[in-house]
Amino acid sequence: MILRTVLALALTGLLAGFPARAEDPSATIDLKATIALHGMPCDQVTDVKRNGDSDYLVSCKDGNRYHVFVNAEGRVIVERK
């Protein structure tokens, strides 16, 4: 539980601080890791659309799409689209 909390806080910091673009390797790696830590598949990030601060729409090569964001309580949320 503590490890999960630490990872969530670290990811919150990562998601808050970068402008995501599919051609930005660090952004795609961070988003792919966030999706994987939530137990969802994403073989390769192909497109990222930034909706706002800490709010992204992520498309994966395998066809999966996710909404990755930080909610009002500060938790990183990954929703399948």
Q: What parts of the chain have a pLDDT lower than 70?
A: 1-24
Give me the pLDDT at residue 5, please. Answer: 47
**Distance between CA atoms of residues 24 and 81, nearest Å:** 22
Give me the pLDDT at residue 47, please. Answer: 94
Query: DSSP character for 63?
Result: S
Instruction: Please give the tally of structural domains in the chain.
Output: 1
Sign of CA dihedral 8, 32, 54, 77: negative
**Distance between CA atoms of residues 59 and 72, nearest Å:** 24
Q: Residue 72 belongs to what domain range?
A: 2-80
Q: Which residue has the tokens 């909706």?
A: 51
Residue 45: count of CB within 10 angstroms of its CB: 23
Give me the pLDDT at residue 14, please. Answer: 52
